Amino acid sequence: MQPCPTLPPELEYQIFLFAFQKERTRPINLLLVAKRVHDWLIPRIYEILVFRGGRARPNVAQLRTYGHHTRHLILTGVIPISVTEMLSYFPNVVNLAIWARSWLQDFGVEPKNPLTSLRLKRLSIHLEDMKDINLESTTNHEVKINENIKRFLSNITHLDCSKAIGQRELTALTYCTSLTHLCIFDTLPTQDLRWVFDVCNNLEVLIWLITRSIAGVSHTSVVVVKDERLRATFKDCGLRPDDLDKIALIGCNGYGDDWERGARGGVDMWALADREVKNKREVSWGPGLLDT
C-alpha cells in the first residue's frame, strides 16, 4: 500500500483555515484532528469573542490561557465577574464594544480603570457612564479627566458613542486626538455638529445613526439613508462644504449584529460610511465639476 501523500504545511494550514471558516459554529471537530491543527485554529477561535451576559461564569482557565489571542471583544451583557478581571484576560484587544451599563458604572469604583491598560483603536461605549470622566458642563467645553484616560482616548481612531448623548458627553472628544471616525445618534442637536468638527481636526467620517426603524430593511441590515431634508438641516447649521461631505446617514436595524459582522470582516456601518463618503467626494471633486 502506498503511503498517503504529504501536503506542504502552508497548504494544509489554508485548508483547515477554510474548513474552520465554513464550520465556525462547531470548531471542536477540527481541533481534535491533530495537535498542529489545534495550534493553528485556537488563535482564530479566540480572535473574536462575544459575551451576551447571563448568570453562568465564563471559563476563566480558558480565557487566561487563550485570551491573549482576542482582538475583537463584544460585551453586550453583564457576566458575574468584575469588569477589571474580565478585561484583564484580553490584553491585546484593539476593538471593544461594551454596552453593559452596570459594568461601566464600576469604572468609577475600581481602583484603576481597566480600559487604560488597553491600546484600543475602536471603541463603542456609553460615555456618560464612565465615571472617570467628570462631565460637568463648563463654559469653555473642558472636562476634568484622569491622565491615564487622556492617553487611552488619544489612541482611539473609531468611536461609537452607542446611545443618545449631548454636548456634555461630547466634551470628551477634545482628547480623542487620533479620531478619524465617529458615530453619534441622530438625537444630538444638529447645531452641535459644527463644534464636533472644530474639535476633531482629523475626522474623516461622521456617521449620523438613524435611530428609527428603517422600513423594508431586515433587522440585521445596515444601509445608507437618503434624506435631503436632513441634509438641508446640516447645511443650515453652518457646516463647511468639506465637513458636509464627511457625514454619512446610516440606518442600522441590527446594532449589535453590525459590530460582530464588522469584526468578522463583513460590511459594517464603518465600511458602508467610508464608501458613502468616498462616493460623495468623487461627485464633489470629479473632473466634470472642477472644470466648470
pLDDT digit string (tens) for 101-160?
A: 656 555 554 456 677 888 999 998 876 655 555 444 444 555 556 677 788 889 999 999
Q: How many CB atoms lie within 10 A of CB 59?
A: 10
Q: How many CB atoms lie within 10 A of CB 205?
A: 21
DSSP string covering the chain: -PPPPPPPHHHHHHHHHHHHHHTTT-THHHHTS-HHHHHHHHHHHHHEEEE---SSPP-HHHHHHHGGG--EEEE-S--SS-HHHHHHT-TT--EEEE--HHHHHHTTTSSS-GGGGS--SEEE--GGG-TTEE----TT---EE-HHHHHHHHT-SEEE--S---HHHHGGGGG-TT--EEEEETTS-GGGHHHHHHH-TT--EEEEEE-SPPTT--TT-EEE---HHHHHHHHHTT--HHHHTTEEEEEES-HHHHHHHHHTTS--HHHHHHHHHHHHHHHHHSHHHHT-
Q: What is the pLDDT of residue 136?
A: 45
Residue 286 in this model has a pLDDT that exceeds 60: no
Of 40-54, 61-75, 169-183, give the range with the top mean pLDDT.
61-75
Give me the mean pLDDT over the 83-106 stretch.
Answer: 80
Q: What is the pLDDT of residue 105?
A: 56
- Say which residues have a Cβ less than 8 Å from residue 221's Cβ, sequence separation at least 6: 214, 252, 253, 254
The phi, psi pair for 185, rounded to 5°, reads -75, 155
- 8 Å CB contact between 119 and 82: no
Of 138-142, 269-273, 287-291, give the range with the top mean pLDDT.
269-273
Share of the chain above pLDDT 70, in %: 70
- The cell for 171 is 466634551
Q: What is the pLDDT of residue 292?
A: 29
- The cell for 117 is 491598560
CA–CA separation, 69 and 42 (whole Å):
8
Structure confidence by residue, pLDDT tens digits, 156-181: 999 998 665 666 667 778 888 999 99
- The cell for 84 is 477589571
- 8 Å CB contact between 126 and 106: no
Residue of 42, 17, 160 whose CA lies nearest to 95? 160
- 8 Å CB contact between 246 and 219: no
255-263 helix and 269-285 helix, angle to the nearest 10 degrees: 80
The phi, psi pair for 208, rounded to 5°, reads -95, 100
CA–CA separation, 228 and 211 (whole Å):
17
- 8 Å CB contact between 182 and 196: yes
